[in-house]
Amino acid sequence: MNLNKEAEMTTINLKPDFFESNRQKVFSKLESGSIVLMFSGKAPKKSADEAYAFTPNRHFYYLTGVAEEDIAVLIVKGEEKEESTLFIKKPDPVMAKWVGETISKEEASCISGIDKVCYLDELESTLNHYFMDERLNYVYMDLERDKFEDAVTKEQSFARICRERYPHLQIKNIYPLISRLRTIKAPEEIELLRKAIEITQEGICALMKNAKSGIYEYQLEAYFDFVLKSRGVKDYAFKTIAASGKNGTVLHYSSNDSLIEEDSLILFDLGAQYQYYNADITRTFPVSGKFTERQKVFYEIVLKAHDAVIASIKPGVTLKELNDLTKKVYLEELGKLEMANTEEDVLKYYYHSVSHFLGLDTHDVGARTLPLAKGMVLTVEPGLYISEEGIGIRIEDDVLVTETGCEVLSKDIIRTVEEIEAYMKKC
């Protein structure tokens, strides 16, 4: 790898117009007399004086582009005007010496396209001003909740306080509205996804070049890590899965600490995160460079399902229909091997869904019941898991829905048996 060449790469950045456009989309969906209050998030404590790495709330980022911890944005749709205000932290000269300077008003405005930037100590008085305006009726916050037992978020706690202090207000959840907007990717977002996929592809090539038995999964994984760091990637789409042999039959195996055995397959499910946009790719290959006949049989079945799903993607199709097609292909092919006579039999070897949305989150927001539409990006990831034979295979690509079909954004990443064996032999 030519690191000097990599250092010269042009960084792709979203422009303020993109975030302004997103806010305008939100304005268009709000009733008059509404405000939206959103927080960027705060990294939770890990231990002692250490915190986990901060990453911004993705809805907040979608509307502002500002990746700063513990700040807020207020969006107001009045009867006569629409206005956005960012609330940031005041400069702290002492903390600047320890952790660096916080974002300035000028920087925040330049990134977000929001002209009005205030300090956080003005937020409560500003809210009181709007909350006591008789023309204000609705307060929207991000009240996302995955499970009943989840901890109360800052937004949910703040919403409770607002209800207690201003009982005349109607608190509403902005989460589903922005989630729906995010399902359709703008051209700028697609370019960022392409870049994340391109970097991921380089990492996968490094894995194939250095694959061998007798080393630990994490040692092989390190070649992927090196490529990403060399390309300026600061975070991963998710914790890398490097699963050899039977480990490949565990969907979210990520300890990556087993010794890679001779003639085993290794399943890598991984992705670079570029400017907060995520690639999600899975490739399965033989560490020896050549598939056994049995491995090849199952690999070809998975590839057949993979190609059938991609051929079926177009506007109007649902994720359920794609998954049903996957199971249909498996039932036919496993039936030939006398391994499946019913769909229930198929589920012994295939126990996840074939697709999810992709974007600012790896498992991106958007209702799974939504029919596909132009501009959506989703994964295609059929797999077969034959634990009794130590064979786990998944082939995953990232796909953009077009007007009449789809474009495989990761099409340049080799996937067939012949391509993989030829590439690894050349290495």
User: What digits encode the pLDDT tens for the residues 204-214?
Assistant: 999 999 999 99
Q: Is the pLDDT of residue 11 over 80?
A: no
CB neighbour burial string for 149-184, b if at least 16 within 10 angstroms, e if fewer:
eeeebebbebbeebeeebeebebbebbebbbebbbb
Q: Which of 18, 134, 131 is nearest to 74 (CA)?
A: 131
CA distance 158 to 156: 5
Written as six digits, the tokens of 417 are 């048996």
pLDDT at 80: 79
| CATH assignment of 3-182, among 3.40.350.10, 3.40.50.11540, 3.40.50.10440, 3.30.1150.10 | 3.40.350.10
CA distance 52 to 350: 34
* 3 state DSSP class of 202: helix
pLDDT at 24: 96
Beta-carbon contacts of residue 210 (< 8 Å; ≥ 6 apart): 220, 223
Q: How far is CA 26 from CA 22, 63, 75, 181, 225, in A?
A: 7, 9, 9, 8, 38
Neighbours of 199 (CB within 10 A): 23
Q: Which of 402, 393, 399, 381 is nearest to 420 (CA)?
A: 393
Give domain 187-426's CATH superfamily: Creatinase/methionine aminopeptidase superfamily (3.90.230.10)
pLDDT band at 134 (very low <50, low <70, confident <90, very high): confident
User: What digits encode the pLDDT tens for the residues 376-414?
Assistant: 999 999 999 999 999 999 999 999 999 999 999 999 999
Question: What are the domain boundaries of the chain?
Answer: 3-182, 187-426
When pLDDT is averaged across residues 11-20 and rounded to a whole number, the result is 93
CA distance 278 to 236: 8
Q: How far is CA 112 from CA 226, 234, 338, in A?
A: 32, 21, 59
pLDDT at 10: 63
3-182 with 187-426: one CATH topology? Answer: no
Beta-carbon contacts of residue 53 (< 8 Å; ≥ 6 apart): 43, 235
User: What digits encode the pLDDT tens for the residues 20-75?
Assistant: 999 999 999 999 999 999 999 999 999 998 999 999 999 999 999 999 999 999 99
CA distance 147 to 414: 39
